């Protein structure tokens, strides 16, 4: 398994954010770290993750998926549980 960051910019967040959230929660172990940013634990490539999620995007929405590796630094405001999970999967 590998850690990936999934981030998106949505033209119509009221419509597409719930759809993307549901798709991520259905398939992956995740940490919803910021409003439109997730860290997921997945066994497939970034391009496969993108293909899985892109059906939930609107025409002018943007989606970014990138594999994470190594070190991470977080502000104090993030949850300890999430930070510990991130350390385990990196």
Rg (CA), the chain: 13
User: Which run of H or of E encompasses 14?
Assistant: helix 13-27
Check: CB of residue 89 under 8 Å from CB of residue 38: no
User: Which run of H or of E encompasses 6?
Assistant: strand 2-9
Across 60-87, average pLDDT: 88
Averaged confidence pLDDT in the chain: 93
> What is the reported pTM?
0.88
pLDDT in tens, 20-42: 999 999 999 999 999 999 999 99
The answer on pLDDT for 73 being more than 90 is no
């Amino acid at each position: 398994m590998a850690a990936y960051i999934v981030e998106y910019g949505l033209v119509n967040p009221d419509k597409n954010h719930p759809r993307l959230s549901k798709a991520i929660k259905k398939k992956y172990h995740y940490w919803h770290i910021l409003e439109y940013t997730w860290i997921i634990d997945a066994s497939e490539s970034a391009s496969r993750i993108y293909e899985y999620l892109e059906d939930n995007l609107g025409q002018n929405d943007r989606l970014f998926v990138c594999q994470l590796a190594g070190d991470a630094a977080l502000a104090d405001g993030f949850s300890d549980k999430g930070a510990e999970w991130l350390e385990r999967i990196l």
